[in-house]
Amino acid sequence: MSGLKTITGIARYEAKLLLRSWGFRVFSGLALVALTSLMVTVVMPSFGSLYFIRTLSGAFPALVIKLLNVFQGIMAVFLATEFLKRDRKQDTSQVIFAHPFSNGQYVLGKFLGVLSVFALLDAAVLAIAVAVHAFFSQAPFSLAPYLLYVVLVSLPTLLFIIGLSLFLGTLIRSQAMVTLIVLSYVFISLAIAGSRPPFAWDGFAFSLPVMYSDVLGLGNLGPLVQIRGAYALLGLALVMASAVLMKRLRQSPGWTRVLGLLSVFSTVLALLLGYAYLSGMSSGRGFREALRMESRIAAESPAMTLLAADLRVRHAGGSIDVAADLTLGNRSRAALKTVFLSLNPGLRIVELKGPAGNLPFQRKQHLVILETEKAIEPGEDIRLSISYSGTIDERYCYPDIDETRRATPLKIWLLSVPQRYAAISPNFVHLTPESGWYPRPGLPEALTFPARVGQDFSRYTLRVEVPEGLTAVSQGIPTIEGAGPEKTYIFQPQTFLPQLSLTIGPYDRQAITVDGVQYGLFLFRGHDRFTAKFNEIAEELPQLIRQLRDGYEVGLGLSYPYRQLSLVELPIQMAAYGRLWTTAQENLQPEIVFLSEMGVLNSGAEFRAGRGFGPAGQGAIAQMAGRMGRGEFSPKDIQRQNFNRFVQSNLMGTQTGIPMMARRGPLGVVVETNSEARFEIFPQFLAFTSNLDISEWPLLGYAMEAYLRERAAPAVMAGIRGALGDSGREETNRFLIEYSLADLLRNTLSLSAVPVSSVLEEKGKYLMTLIRARLGVPDFDDRLVAFLKSRRFQPITRQDLEGFVAPLGSLDLGQTITAWSLEKGLPGFLVDAVETYPVVDGEKTRYQVKFRVANPTDREGVLKVNFVTRGGFGGRPGGGGAMPAATDNRVFYVPAGTVKQVGFVLDQAAVMTIIDTTMSQNLPASFTLPFSAQRAAPGVRPFEGETAGPYVPPAWGADGEYVVDNEDPGFKRPDAGRANWLRRSLQKAFVIEEAGAGATGVPMIMNPPDSWQPIILQSFFGGFVRSAYMKKSGSGASKVAWEADLEQSGDYDIYFYHEGFGGRMGRGGMPGQGGATQRGAQPGQGPQAERMNPGKKYFLVSFEGGSEEVVVDIRNAPSGWNLIGNFRLAAGMNKVELTDKSEGRYVLADAVKWVFKK
C-alpha cells in the first residue's frame, strides 16, 4: 500500500466516523441554522443600522466567514482530540499492526479527515452565503472576497487549531485537559490579546483588519499573507511534531527525521513570517521618529512660498512618473541660501534643475535640500524643475497622529477595515497632500505644528496621462486630449489653491451645472445605486441644489469660491484623521468631497423608500404626515426628503438625523463605528480660502473655523441634543474640568475616551463666543465674516487680526487667548425664574423672555441664547425635514460668583428659546425654554438687558425645605456590581452590550438597563447636572434611598419629583425666587406620553414608630413635585426608599423633598 493511498484511506475512514457522529451532526446543524438565520437577518432592509453589510461587496462574506471561523475553530478543538481518545478507549493497535503504517501516515490521515469534514461544512455555509448575497443583498456580488477570506481567514485557523489540539493531545493524555487548554487559548485570542494591535495573537483573524474593496482589493494583502501564513505553517509544524512525538507505534528513523526536519523548517518559516509582520507593523514608529529628527533644522529655518506649480503625471501601473515645474518666492524678511523641499521618501528624484541647469541636492528621508549659489533675497523668486518617479511610502503620512490611533483599524460592528492613506495600483490612484506626492517648500504642518502654522495659496496646473478605462479627478474642470487608449486630462483651476489632489479610478461620471457651478458625482462602475433613487425628482434637482446652497451661504455669510464641486467615491480602506490646526480633513480637498465606498460611512446614504426620520417605514411617515396635517407623502416627497436629508446631514452639517432609539442591530449587538471622517463642505468656504499665519496662536484657526461653522447649522439641534441626553460635547466638558489645552498640546494626556478634535472644537467655539461677549458687539459675527471675506487667498497676520478687533472694543486679544489655552476648570449655571409673555411696547405687541441665571463657580462663563421663531416649521412634504430656524441669537458674559436677571424683547413670538451653556459643567449642555402664551399683568413694562449681583447660595433647610437630588451625597443606590470577567470579555469581543449600557436620554428610555444607571435629560430635577437613575422594572427587591438630616421634629410633607419629559429647565432654590421654572408639554398628552409613563411608584417611608409602603399613581401626575404623604418625623437622619416594582417598563428615581409644616 503506497504512502499516499494509506493517508487518503485513513482520512476517508476518519471523515466517515465524524460525519456519522451525532456530536458533529448536531453542532453542524446548529451552525448552519444559526448562520443562515443571521445571513437572512442582516440583509433585511428593516435593519437600517446594518446598511454597510448590505452594500459593501466584501462586508457580507467577511461577517459570515468570521463567525463561521469562530464556530468551526471551537468545534475543531473537540473533533481533533476525539480520535486520540477513541483510539485509546477502543485499543485499535491490533488493526494497526495488521496493516502497518507510520505515525506520520496515521496522524496526517486523521488530520486530513478532520480537515475534509470542515471543508464540507464550509462549502455548505458558503453556498448558502453566495445564494443569499447574489439574490437578496443589494451589494455588488464578487467571488473574490469569498475565496480570499477562506484562504486567509478560515484555512489558517483550522490548520493551527487542529495542529495545536493534536500536539497537546500527544503530550497530555487527558482529553479534558487538552480541551480546556485550547479553549482557554481561544478565549484569550478572541477577547483579550488578539483584539489589540498589531493583532499578532489573533489566531482567528476576528479582530485582524480584513476587508475587500471592489477597487482596491484587500488593501493589506502583504501583511495578511505574513501573519496568516505564519499561523498556517505553525499549525502544519505542530501536526508533524505530533507524529514524531506519538509513542504508541514503532516509527522508522527515516520518517522520524523527515517529519522532524519538516516540522522545524515550518516552525522557523512561521517565525520568520511573524517577525516580518511585526517588524512591518512597528517600523512606522521609528520611521516617523526619524522624520521628526531630520525635520528639526528645516523647521527652524524660514520656508519659501510656493507661488505656482505645473505638474505632469504619468500613471505607470504600480508607480507614477512626475515632472514638476515650481515657482518659489522668498516672502520672509531674510535672504535664503538653503532651500528645503518636502517629498514622499518613496518617490526617487531623477533630476533637479534650476534656470542655469542641473542643481546639486541632498536627500534626507522626505527632505530635499538645495544650496543655491546666490542667496535669494526677500521678494525674489526662483524656478525649479524636478523629475521623480516611484510609489508612496504611507509611513510618511500623518506623523502627528499618535501610534495607537494609527494602529487602530476602522471598526464597523464586528468588521475591521485596514487604514490606507494613499494608493497607487494599476486601476486606482489616490494622492492627497498628506502623502507628499508633489514637492512643496518647507515642511508639512504635521511636522511643524504648533511652532509654525499657515499655508500657501498657489496657481496649479496638472496634466495626467491615464490608461484606457480610467478617469482622473482633481481640482479644476478638465479638458481631455487624446483619442487612443491613453488619454490626457488637463486641470487648470481658476482660483488660488492651498493644495492639490489626484484620484484616478474606474469611475462613471455624472454632472449637473447650477448657476455656473458644476456639481459632479464620480462613482465606481457598478456602484451607482443612487440615480434610480431620484428618478422622480430628476428635473427638480437644479432647484433643490439651488435652495440648499442659497440657504447654506446665507446662513454662513460666505459664497462658494469655486466653479465645481465633485463628490468622489473612495475605497472603504481610505482613512482620514482630525487635525489640531484645522477642521478640514484629507477626505475633503478644494472643490472635492471624498465619500466612503457605497456611502457606508455617510448618513442617510441608503435612500430607502419611505425612510424619512429614524427607522420609520413609509406607513409610519404617512401617519406622521397625517398627524402634522400635511397630507400623504408621495414618491416625489420621499425622494425630495431623502436628497435634502443626505446633503444637509453629510455636506452641510445642518441636520442631525434623529438617532435610532436603539443603537442595536440583531441579537442586541451594538452597531457603531470609530471613523473620524467628516464630509462637511464648510472648509471649502474658510479653511481652504483663509490663511491665519499666526504661529504664536496655532489653535486660533481651528477655533475660528469651529465657531463660524455653527452659523449655517440650526440652533435647534442644541435643543434636540439636550432632549436626547448626553453627547460628545458633554464628554469633552468633563475632560476640560481637569485639564487645559496646554496639557493637550504637551501630549501629557491620553485622550482615548475623548477625541482631540472634540476638545478643540468646543474650546474653539467657547473662545470666539467669549471674545464676542466681552466686546459686546451684536453684529460681531457678521463683521468677522466680512473681514475674512476681504482677506480671501491672502495671509492674515496677528497685526491684521488685532486691527480688526481694536475698533470693536477694548480687549487684549493676546491675553485672552493665552488665558484660554492655560485655564482649567469650567463654570456651571443655574437657570430659573423663567417667564415668557406678550407685552405692549407703545402701539406694538412684542414678546418678553426673562430668566435668571447664576454662576456659583469660580470660573467665568458665557451663555448663548438662540430664539426660534414661529413659522420655522412647515414646508412641503418631503422638504428635507425642515427644522425651526433661529432668527436671533445673543451671547452674554457671566462672571464667577454672579447671578444675573436677563431680559429680551422680541418682535416675533418664539417657539422656543435655546440656551447653550457652551463650555460648562452643565449636563445636558444645551436646553430649551418653550414659549408659554401667558398674559402680562397690566402696566408691565418691557425689560431688555441684564442686571447683576453676587450669588448667595441657599442654606440647607431654608424655609423648612430639605431637597435631596440623585446627584447629592444623601442619595443611596445599591452597588450595581460588575458582570463576571468572562462575560464582560465576550461582550466586548462580539460588541454586545447589556440593556441600557452606554446609553442615555431617549435611547435609554426605550431600552432600560438591568441595574440602576444614571440618565441625563433636561426634564429632570437638578443643579448643574439634570439626571435621574433608571432601572428596568423588577420585583421590588432592588431599592434606592434618599436620606436627609432634618433639623427639627414635626410633621412633614414629603414630595418626589416626577419627570414628565417636558421642557423643565433648571433646579430651583436661588435665593429670593422660590425656584419657579418653565415647563413644556405635560405627561399624559397623547399616546406616546402614555406609553412612557410607567404607572405607579412604590415608596417605603420611615417615620417615628415604623415605616409605611406608599403607592403613588403617576399616570396623571403633573411634572414637578408630587406629594407622597404627610408623616411625623424625628429630628436627625430620615429616609425614603423607592423600589424597582412597577407595572411599566422602567422606574425612575430623581429627587425627594421634605417640607416642614409649621
The CATH number of the domain holding residue 431 is 2.60.40.1730
Q: Rounded mean pLDDT of 643-652?
A: 91
Taken in order 101, 107, 113, 119, the sign of the CA dihedral is negative
Cell numbers 430623581 correspond to what residue?
1150
Between β-strands 861-869 and 910-916, what pairing exists: parallel, antiparallel or unpaired? antiparallel
Give the pLDDT confidence score for residue 403 in this predicted structure: 87
Residue 545 included in any domain: no
Give the pLDDT confidence score for residue 251 in this predicted structure: 59
pLDDT band of 749, cuts 50, 70, 90 = very low
Instruction: Specify which residues 481 forms β-bridges with.
Output: 488
Joined together, the cell numbers standing for residue 701 give 484657526
Q: How far apart are CA 836 and CA 903, in angstroms?
A: 10
Q: Rounded mean pLDDT of 417-437?
A: 96
Strand 357-358: give its sheet, edge to edge. Answer: 357-358, 347-354, 381-390, 319-329, 305-316, 459-466, 487-491, 479-481
803 & 887 share domain: no
Q: Rounded mean pLDDT of 1032-1038?
A: 91
The residue among 245, 279, 313 that closes a domain is 279
The residue among 934, 950, 966 that closes a domain is 950
pLDDT band of 721, cuts 50, 70, 90 = low
Residues whose CB is less than 8 angstroms from the CB of residue 645 and which lie 6 or more positions away in sequence, other chains included: 603, 604, 612, 655, 657, 880, 881
Q: Which DSSP string do the residues of 671-736 spell out, in sequence order? A: --B-------SHHHHTTTT-EE--TTSTTHHHHHHHHHHGGGS-THHHHHHHHH---HHHHHHHHH
272 & 358 share domain: no
Give the pLDDT confidence score for residue 916 in this predicted structure: 87
Residue 292 included in any domain: no
Residue 519 included in any domain: no
Please say if the pLDDT value at position 76 is more than 90.
no
Please say if the pLDDT value at position 1001 is more than 60.
no
Give the pLDDT confidence score for residue 832 in this predicted structure: 84
255 & 215 share domain: yes
800-803, Cβ contacts within 8 angstroms, sequence gap of 24 or more: 801/692, 801/694, 801/700
Residue 664 included in any domain: no
Q: Rounded mean pLDDT of 745-762?
A: 65
Contact criterion met (CB below 8 Å) for 1067 and 965: yes
Give the pLDDT confidence score for residue 186 in this predicted structure: 87
Please say if the pLDDT value at position 658 is more than 70.
no
Please say if the pLDDT value at position 104 is more than 80.
no
Measured between its terminal Cα atoms, the distance across the chain in Å is 107
Please say if the pLDDT value at position 93 is more than 50.
no
Higher pLDDT, 350 or 720: 350
Give the pLDDT confidence score for residue 665 in this predicted structure: 46
- How many residues in the chain? 1158
Q: Which DSSP string do the residues of 37-68 spell out, in sequence order? A: HHHHHHT-TT-GGGHHHHH-TTHHHHHHHHHH
Give the pLDDT confidence score for residue 759 in this predicted structure: 83
pLDDT band of 549, cuts 50, 70, 90 = very high
**Global pTM?**
0.86
The residue among 765, 796, 820 that closes a domain is 820
Give the pLDDT confidence score for residue 1000 in this predicted structure: 53
931 & 967 share domain: no
Name the percent of the chain lying above pLDDT 70: 82
Encoded amino acid at 259, one letter: L
1021 & 1085 share domain: yes
Give the pLDDT confidence score for residue 1080 in this predicted structure: 32
Average pLDDT of the chain to the nearest whole number: 83
Whether the link from the prior residue into 140 is cis, omega within 30° of 0, is: no
> Residue 1101: which domain range?
958-1156
Per-residue pLDDT tens over the stretch 799-839: 999 999 999 988 999 999 999 988 888 999 998 888 888 88
Strand 592-595: give its sheet, edge to edge. Answer: 507-514, 517-524, 564-569, 592-595, 588-589
Please say if the pLDDT value at position 621 is more than 50.
no
Please say if the pLDDT value at position 459 is more than 60.
yes
Which of 453, 449, 443 shows the shortest CA–CA distance to 294? 443
1109 & 1049 share domain: yes
Per-residue pLDDT tens over the stretch 770-807: 999 999 888 999 999 999 999 999 999 999 999 999 99
Q: How far apart are CA 1039 and CA 741, in angstroms?
A: 42
Give the pLDDT confidence score for residue 45 in this predicted structure: 67
Give the pLDDT confidence score for residue 1062 in this predicted structure: 42
Higher pLDDT, 104 or 244: 244
For residue 890, the number of C-alpha atoms closer than 13 Å in the C-beta half-sphere is 14
Give the pLDDT confidence score for residue 1061 in this predicted structure: 55
Please say if the pLDDT value at position 146 is more than 80.
yes
Q: How far apart are CA 205 and CA 185, in angstroms?
A: 14
Per-residue pLDDT tens over the stretch 1071-1081: 443 333 433 33
Between β-strands 410-412 and 415-417, what pairing exists: parallel, antiparallel or unpaired? antiparallel
**Which of the listed ranges 482-486, 694-698, 938-942 does the model predict with the highest average pLDDT?**
694-698
Q: Which DSSP string do the residues of 1071-1088 spell out, in sequence order? A: TTTTT-----SPTTSSHH
Residue 631 included in any domain: no
Contact criterion met (CB below 8 Å) for 611 and 633: no
Per-residue pLDDT tens over the stretch 36-58: 888 888 877 655 557 888 889 99
Residue 549 included in any domain: no
Residue 672 included in any domain: no
Please say if the pLDDT value at position 656 is more than 60.
no
The CATH number of the domain holding residue 942 is 2.60.40
Give the pLDDT confidence score for residue 1072 in this predicted structure: 40
1057 & 1135 share domain: yes
The CATH number of the domain holding residue 1070 is 2.60.120.260
List the single range of 189-203, 218-232, 1045-1059 with lowest mean pLDDT: 189-203
793 & 709 share domain: yes
List the single range of 95-99, 679-683, 1114-1118 with lowest mean pLDDT: 95-99
pLDDT band of 499, cuts 50, 70, 90 = very high
1150 & 1003 share domain: yes
pLDDT band of 59, cuts 50, 70, 90 = very high
Between β-strands 564-569 and 592-595, what pairing exists: parallel, antiparallel or unpaired? parallel
965 & 939 share domain: no
Joined together, the cell numbers standing for residue 715 give 440652533
Q: How far apart are CA 912 and CA 843, in angstroms?
A: 25
Per-residue pLDDT tens over the stretch 1122-1150: 999 999 999 999 999 999 998 888 899 99
The CATH number of the domain holding residue 717 is 1.10.390
206 & 305 share domain: no
Please say if the pLDDT value at position 585 is more than 60.
yes
Q: How far apart are CA 561 and CA 457, in angstroms?
A: 14
Please say if the pLDDT value at position 158 is more than 80.
yes
Per-residue pLDDT tens over the stretch 286-337: 999 999 999 988 888 999 999 999 999 999 889 999 999 999 999 998 999 9
Higher pLDDT, 414 or 965: 965
Which of 599, 627, 592, 596 shows the shortest CA–CA distance to 613? 627
Residues whose CB is less than 8 angstroms from the CB of residue 1134 and which lie 6 or more positions away in sequence, other chains included: 1043, 1044, 1045, 1046, 1102, 1103, 1154
How many separate helices (H) and strands (E) can be counted in the chain?
28, 45
Cell numbers 452639517 correspond to what residue?
653
Higher pLDDT, 614 or 232: 232
Residue 460 included in any domain: yes
Give the pLDDT confidence score for residue 196 in this predicted structure: 86
Which of the 8 DSSP states describes residue 150? I
The Cα-based distances of 637 to 79, 201, 604, 759, 814 in angstroms read 58, 52, 16, 39, 52
* Number of domains within the chain: 5
842 & 986 share domain: no
Please say if the pLDDT value at position 878 is more than 80.
no
Contact criterion met (CB below 8 Å) for 867 and 913: yes
